[in-house]
Amino acid sequence: MAGYWQHLWWMAYVAAGVGIWRYLPLTVVRLVAAFTQDEQRHRRCMEVLRLARRDASTIPTYLPDAGMPTGRVIEAD
């Protein structure tokens, strides 16, 4: 019976590792989005989180329109 407990602990460690592997990247992105002072970085992080959802097509994008300038000024010659 004692041999089974060792296997149960091993399975618990594997389950914890799989859980961390699955949720850690999005947790890091959430933390960056929450604590960054850069508005563009915040919007990009929020867009990554939006795209990670299954209902992403029903949520409006956080990025500016593709036809709109992004604040970068290009001077003509």
Which pLDDT band, with edges at 50, 70 and 90, does 22 fall under? Answer: confident
Could you give the CA distance from residue 8 to residue 16 in angstroms, rounded to a whole number? 12
- Summarised one tens digit per residue, pLDDT across range 29-77 is 999 999 999 999 999 999 999 988 888 888 888 887 655 555 555 555 5
Residue 72 lies in a domain: no
Residue 69 is assigned to a structural domain of this protein: no
| Structure-block tokens of residue 14 | 């594997």
Total tally of structural domains belonging to the chain: 1
So what's the pLDDT on residue 8? 87
Structural domain boundaries, residue 33: 2-58
pTM to 2 decimals? 0.61
- Residue 35 lies inside a defined structural domain of this protein: yes
